[in-house]
Amino acid sequence: MTTDFENAALAVLRRAVGPSAQFRDGQFEAIEALVEQRSRLLVVQRTGWGKSAVYFVATRLLRDRGAGTTIIVSPLLALMRDQIEAASRLHLNAMTINSSNKEEWERIEQDLLGGKVDLLLVSPERFNNADFRDRLLGPLSSSAGLLVIDEAHCISDWGHDFRPDYRRLVRVLERMPSGVLVLCTTATANRRVVEDIHHQLGAELKVIRGNLDRESLSLSSVRIPTVVERLAWLAQWIPRLTGSGIVYCLTVADTARVADWLNTNDIPAAAYSGGRDPEQRLAIEQQLKANELKVVAATSALGMGFDKPDLAFVIHFQSPDSPVAYYQQVGRAGRAVDHAEVVLLWSERDEDIWQYFLEHGLPVQWHAEQVVEYLKAEADWVGLRDIEVNVNMPSSRIAGLLKVLDVEGAVEKERSKYRRTLRPWTFDSARIERVRNARLAEHQAMRDYATTSGCRMAFLRNALNDSDISSCGKCDNCTGNRYDRKADPSLVGQALSFIRRRPIGIEPRKRWAGHRSGTISNLLEPGRALCYLTDPGWGDQLLDAKRSGGLLSDQLVEAAAALVKDWMPGFDGIVAYVPSIDPARTLVPNFAGRLARLLQLPLSDCLVKLRQNTPQKLMENSAQQLRNVDGVFAIRGKAPTSPVLLIDDVADSRWTMTVLGDLLLATGSGPIYPFTVGKTKG
Amino acid sequence: MLDEQDLAALALTSRLVKSAVKPLSSREFWALRRSVEPSALRGTTAIEIASELAIPGEDAERIARLFDRATGIAVALETLNHSGIWTITGVGECYPERLRARLHDAAPIVLHGVGDTSLLSTDGVGVVGSRDISEHGSLIACEIAQTAVQSGLPVVSGAARGVDQDAMNAAFKVGGQVVGVLADSLERAVTRPGTRRGVAGGQICLVTPYTPSAPFSVGNAMGRNKIIYGLSRYTIVVATDQESGGTWAGATEALKKHYGRVASWTGAGSSAGNNALVKQGAVELSDLTHLDYLLDESDVPPTGKDEPLGDQLALGF
């Protein structure tokens, strides 16, 4: 028996999707809870279940009853484009306000005021933007509508996804009386996340949970200790897989490395990360969708909102640090095909990267207090640059920290300036500790996943507190079919020489920082490094030598010489090096001397250090780093007039090189080519 | 933390967000609350409200429409809260009890402010007077403020030019606490670094019954006077014109409606207005050495006189 309401809802759905459409499990229940019972609702359903059908149909029915605009807060801009299209099929007028459509804001605002907008999609960042709120408030106030919070697991401290902007969203929710309709949706919420959302949204919250099984996936896990062997494994197995897929990497550098390696092996691949232009990213997504690429090597930036129903495989080049993140990423495969391969390549060394993410992802108490104290004393708007000059911590972390302090209400932001708010604030170390422990528990769960002998799908569903779990019958543990961990030795050899020959660039700095302002006129040339510090082989050797005060091996110096010859075949300048005051520190001069001999170039000791400074690695941001090395060096005797190969052991902040380059170029030397043994990962 | 009752009060009376219908005045809200706890009306239709309260349909419609503003108000409140501006309501716990007791239905439903809300209930010394003030008058204002600080009492004033500012600055300089009752532009007032440091250090509390972005208006300037009288154990009028100006109007209103105790300075430098105020019922203060005594005598705050209510609880709109 169907009710009038069910018929009405179904009619709306059919108008959009087709005359024989039916609601999927739980969809009608959710719509009824919102529209008829006026409940606050949390829907936990796997990706592809059709949550948008719920808020579209609910919005249509609510609007027909005179309700105001539905506001959808979602971090997924890509999704917004698709949704606006889908909404129009339901005769819903959907709009988005984001940084790319500023010229339309005024018209949208007018339409909102006129009640012509049915759905407004915004990102959480936009929702918190002061100017946006000023504009939005009028239209929002006239009549109440549904508020949809997408990816609602971000509300919870326990979520694997820490999105500061959701914390302000929670504070808005706390100020909404219980009668305001709220729909939270997520595909990944374990019991603790659900409890947390429950707590934030009030006891009356109704929860609808679906089954999280993904029947098409066949999960495997292979332990491979080294980067070289993993690359070889990819080259061996990917050509045997049908269709195209994603290779997830933990770092941006690895996406480039994997994509280049696959291309060298005639496997069409592209690298994708948050650092690339939006247009480039969109182009890569489209090429993957059209199967023009076999592989996209991507960081987690290729994530929520990317939908390719026939994605045939997902391989992890390193293990992600949480089963929830892992479930989300593998869940992109096999949505509309019967079978998809999912392989986790892992080793204990992946945990160094987890640790790095953990330490850099959480605010440090003394950093936070230092910044707040400084702003409190200023009691006025202060630019980022002044903060960098006055606070010794990495710029990258200052920006992240200010964002956290902003949403916590310790600091407010206006046109890229910051000010201490008038709210009392203390560092919430208990909360940070709680988040850290939750992360460590996720690390352990990921270790357990890699080594479990039980069903892998059951393991993941269990980690997400799914119910009715049974064995999948498809994973390596269920079937006993396992991938070889050893790849073809000739491929391993090729991968090794690929890694060693691969140019690692050192980008010249273009702008001064801190006490010196403006662009740098005496620019260095783009430079090269032999290896990343984290690379096995050269990287290990360099770190050992630095630690023990020893010298570098002949093999390494020969590799460096080969690289320079490859890089600049006809180079006929001189070799100079970054000087030290301590005569016991011979690594750099010794390396430069041996390299010069192999290259048959003159070695110059024209650069001298005038006084001992603090080790550069203790300086935490550009302003401090530049101040630490500026004026510390000089040129002895006559400056060279030829091109210079400038040698150092490690390229990190690049300020030492930049200051030396400025000195040399000012006296007429040049061009200057920096070359270092190691580079810290960027 | 604002609860459901606070949120209902805000939905019905706040001017933080635009509204298709006019928000309830203080009197209308307090009258409504005598019939029903307003938060109970949320989610009901205008027809239900009309029959429950036996009020005309259009009044019921107005209440129902005002509740529709909940989302906009939630966003506006969070925006203020984020910059450190708090919001309290007449039905909530942080609201100074004496304000409601003395002002009755004229008590503002919503207060916005910065600094420590507990300063509002600490029984301060009100200091008021004209914007244009003689050098001597300024001196008197400062001395009254310093005496208040020495007695451990905050100075309550309007933060306007003249007497208000002189008294507040004097108290602040000797390390005392001040409560500034603003008639406009709270948001702009808190942009000054000196003010921010004072708020952060616990010395300054600023409060306004109007929206934090409200521009200056004569009506609002008059409207906030009663709050100064209502918050203070004693309010001393340093200088006033006779029969004209905001200070005169505020003081005579406070005397007539018993918003608080009023003293008028009649010593050196005082004007005819101050003496006239004494004739209206203000206590005479001609010697600053008597101030201590005056403040000691008054530590039990008076309650205002109830305005007569009819037999029937009628809604005032």
| CATH number of A401's domain | 1.10.10.10
Q: Which pTM was predicted?
A: 0.79
pLDDT of amino acid A157: 66
End of a domain among B46, B80, B112?
Answer: B112
Asked if B193's CB is within 8 angstroms of A138's CB, the reply is no
CATH of the domain at B272: 3.40.50.450
Asked if the structure places residue B315 within a domain, the reply is: no
Asked if the structure places residue A399 within a domain, the reply is: yes
In a shared domain, residues A166 and A258: no
Asked if the structure places residue B51 within a domain, the reply is: yes
In a shared domain, residues B128 and B240: yes
| B7 touching chain A per CB within 8 A | yes
pLDDT of amino acid B168: 93
- The boundaries of the domain holding residue B140 are 115-297
In a shared domain, residues B84 and B173: no
In a shared domain, residues B132 and B268: yes
Can you tell me which residue has the tokens 């207005």?
B273
**DSSP letters for B294-311:** HHHHT-S---PPPPP--S
In a shared domain, residues A537 and A411: no
How many other C-beta atoms lie within 10 A of the C-beta of residue A51?
23
In a shared domain, residues B42 and B123: no
CA quadruple A228, A230, A235, A238: dihedral, nearest 10 = -170
Asked if the structure places residue B246 within a domain, the reply is: yes
Contacts of A168 in chain B (CB under 8 A): 78, 82
In a shared domain, residues A99 and A115: yes
Q: Choose among A97, A203, A186, A204: nearest CA to A140.
A: A97
In a shared domain, residues A521 and A487: no
In a shared domain, residues B78 and B133: no
Number of folded domains in chain B? Answer: 2
Q: Which of B8, B84, B197 sits opposite A421 (nearest CB)?
A: B84
In a shared domain, residues A525 and A379: no
In a shared domain, residues A234 and A202: no
In a shared domain, residues B75 and B33: yes
pLDDT of amino acid B315: 39
Q: Give me the interface pTM, i.e. the ipTM.
A: 0.85
Those residues with Cβ within 8 angstroms of residue B219's Cβ, 6 or more apart along the chain or in another chain? none
Asked if the structure places residue B313 within a domain, the reply is: no
In a shared domain, residues B203 and B158: yes
Residue A86, pLDDT > 80, answer no
Q: What is the mean pLDDT of residues A483-493?
A: 91
End of a domain among B69, B87, B112?
Answer: B112
In a shared domain, residues B35 and B161: no
End of a domain among B112, B131, B150?
Answer: B112
C-alpha to C-alpha distance for A609 and A579, rounded to whole angstroms = 6
| Beta bridge partner(s), residue A121 | A72, A96
Asked if the structure places residue A445 within a domain, the reply is: no
In a shared domain, residues A418 and A538: no
Q: Choose among A75, A155, A79, A71: nearest CA to A108.
A: A71
Asked if the structure places residue B288 within a domain, the reply is: yes
Burial class (CB in 10 A: 0-12, 13-18, 19+), B271: middle
| A258 touching chain B per CB within 8 A | no
**DSSP H helices in A379-520:** 384-390, 395-408, 429-451, 456-463, 476-479, 489-501
pLDDT of amino acid B119: 92
Burial class (CB in 10 A: 0-12, 13-18, 19+), B277: buried
In a shared domain, residues A610 and A640: yes
Asked if the structure places residue B124 within a domain, the reply is: yes
Rounded to a whole number of angstroms, the distance from the CA of B152 to the nearest CA of chain A is: 24
Q: What is the mean pLDDT of residues A215-240?
A: 94
Interface contacts A/B by beta carbons within 8 Å:
112
Q: What is the pLDDT of residues A367-411, one digit of tens each?
A: 899 999 999 999 999 998 889 888 887 777 888 889 888 888 899
In a shared domain, residues B91 and B145: no
pLDDT of amino acid A78: 60
Number of folded domains in chain A? Answer: 4
Q: What is the pLDDT of residues A423-468, one digit of tens each?
A: 989 998 888 888 888 889 999 999 999 999 999 999 999 998 888 8
In a shared domain, residues A226 and A177: no
In a shared domain, residues B293 and B199: yes
Asked if the structure places residue A530 within a domain, the reply is: yes
List A residues 66-95 in contact with B (Cβ-Cβ < 8 A). Answer: 68, 71
C-alpha to C-alpha distance for A304 and A387, rounded to whole angstroms = 34
Strand stretches in B37-162, DSSP E? 86-89, 110-114, 124-129, 155-157
In a shared domain, residues A369 and A278: no
In a shared domain, residues A483 and A558: no
Asked if the structure places residue B308 within a domain, the reply is: no
Asked if the structure places residue B302 within a domain, the reply is: no
In a shared domain, residues B163 and B185: yes
Asked if the structure places residue A454 within a domain, the reply is: no
CATH of the domain at A628: 3.40.50
Asked if B190's CB is within 8 angstroms of A409's CB, the reply is no
Q: Positive or negative, the Cα torsion across A595, A596, A597, A600?
A: positive
Asked if the structure places residue A125 within a domain, the reply is: yes
C-alpha to C-alpha distance for B90 and B116, rounded to whole angstroms = 17
In a shared domain, residues A487 and A507: no
In a shared domain, residues B161 and B289: yes
Q: What is the pLDDT of residues B223-276, one digit of tens each?
A: 999 999 999 999 999 999 999 889 999 999 999 999 999 999 998 878 889 999
- The boundaries of the domain holding residue A384 are 364-426
pLDDT band at A585 (very low <50, low <70, confident <90, very high): confident
Residue in B with minimal Cα distance to A181: B71
